[in-house]
Structure 1
């Protein structure tokens, strides 16, 4: 039986509730398809930070570097500034392990009503490919004269040819496997250096993909089209900041950020990739047992697909849809079910499905 070593970081808040829920479902998928997930848990979190002054140990990256994947819940908790929790754990992993693609599906699942009028399951099914390591999230900059009338802050956006090209080629190749349509998010009419550079590379690389239809949208128009005409999209490639904002909107138009998954990918597989839901740690509902586990479960399905078990991944998502279509939902989706009830329902739906074949390596 194939075994995969997974570094598990439940993190903070509802992460500690939804990660075990997803592990339960993924373990069943493994049993059905002849592979095993071997979990090693790390307690790195804001609670860890309050004890040690760090979000993870000094050698934390070395500790997880040899794993096949990283499965993250959420980080963030009141009392620890968000930039501390983010830059102390998540971003160092994305960069150290060259996870330069942040892949976020935007898909309306069966059983969920979109807040958009006239949208049915099947109408919304696109993917945002977000550049994950540079762009607007550069560390270059600083603050001067804090607390005075002369106070100032400078943040530099850094776009490199290598960084932009690798994420765009990933997006072009992904579009080839889907409907062959790729949209680019830009703002070259207002940001006069980095965005024209982004546009130039998008067109240059597009010359190698004559079979892919391309379109360029200014980000302000693009967010409007996500609401007014989302059916037009197949694959969208965007910079770090633009991709982050677009995918939160994408989660909203498919029902809830609680179901939205993401994958931080090192496509060359030289380093572990990391899988996490888009939602945060939600301290306002932590401990109540009502967190939606579907975002974490769906992120786990992305992990299974990355590990070579595509049929198992598809079955997990199908089981989620069966549960939603049957009306079992947590409060964020208008239901009354608990985290445990939704998890049990997904397990039952998965167990009752005919076994698919072709799960890959």
Structure 2
């Protein structure tokens, strides 16, 4: 066996149920490290950033926060947002500060229909549906360009301008990423989503780049949809989906729709990647901080544990990532589900079952 690899993780539980699900995700990761027989281990640094930190310090993270975590191998993130702190402050002050500060320009959000999960989608072949959203994660509608003015004109006369930024380089790198990802799948297809009939500048640029890049991938099938039509496609013809690439806003919305169709936002994993690996990538579930159920022990840990699987794969542990995903699927197949999926198991019990099933799927593999 080669030399053991120690991965440095920056762990940011954040707010609400983020703390609960990250704790369970770390429990799984530590268990896998212990049973790896010295193949790998984790050195985890915890950071208390989030809304509570903001209420005490007037900021969501340390001024030099990015420098504190720049040299870690990966970032494991919970959720952000809590009553008392406006959502735009919590989001821009922490999650987006990390995503943009580290140029994590590719956001990956798989849509998977786990066995044993109550069906939200009436489809004859739902068990074989599986697609992935590729989200442009650095510009587009979340560029933060704009402002508010004319408040001095009196009540009801203020004007807000919010601009979306599309650069040719930004469009090209995320579209090429989607095509490269499609080449790794059984069905090689990329569907581009825009609203270029109404947004005639940025989205038309995206369309033009997509047409140009697609010529470099003659082996990959292509399709294009307007975002409103794609929302319907998710429900009516999901069998047509494989790799779906879209701008920051559109892919954000569509991924929530996909997660809901798959059963719950609680099962949805995601990765914020810097594909060049110049900076650490960040792994988080798609769901929010859910303050209404925080502290009750009923949060679904699957999305965060699935994000740990994406992190393992990113760290070069593809076999371990596949085993963890299989353990998650075996757990839901057994009917061990949290309340959001119609079950009666709590957060810790679902994690316990996933850990137990790691051994089961390992035996099956041998």
TM-score (norm 2): 0.95
Is residue 10 of structure 1 aligned with residue 13 of structure 2? yes
Write out per-residue CA displacement over residues 105-146 of structure 1, whole angstroms, 9 at most, x where no aligned residue.
001012213211135554221110000010011111001133
**Aligned pairs for 1:197-276 within 5 A:** 197-276=205-284
Which of 144, 157, 177 is the aligned partner of 1:150?
Answer: 157
- 1:155 CA displacement: 0.5
Distance of 1:120 and 1:208 partners within structure 2: 32
Aligned pairs, number? 358
> Helix, strand or coil: the match of 1:157?
strand
> Helix, strand or coil: the match of 1:156?
strand
- 1:30 CA displacement: 2.4
Which of 169, 194, 205 is the aligned partner of 2:202?
Answer: 194
**Aligned pairs for 1:52-201 within 5 A:** 52-120=57-125, 122-146=127-151, 148-178=155-185, 179-201=187-209
2:76–2:282 Cα contact (<8 Å) kept: yes
Distance of 1:14 and 1:354 partners within structure 2: 30
2:118–2:341 Cα contact (<8 Å) kept: no
TM-score (norm 1): 0.97
> Helix, strand or coil: the match of 1:247?
helix
Distance of 1:196 and 1:121 partners within structure 2: 34
Over 3 Å counting, the alpha-carbon distance change for 1:303 and 1:356 in structure 2 is farther
- 1:355 CA displacement: 5.7
> Helix, strand or coil: the match of 1:353?
helix
> Helix, strand or coil: the match of 1:140?
strand
Distance of 1:25 and 1:120 partners within structure 2: 31
Which of 351, 355, 358 is the aligned partner of 2:359?
Answer: 351
- 1:311 CA displacement: 0.8
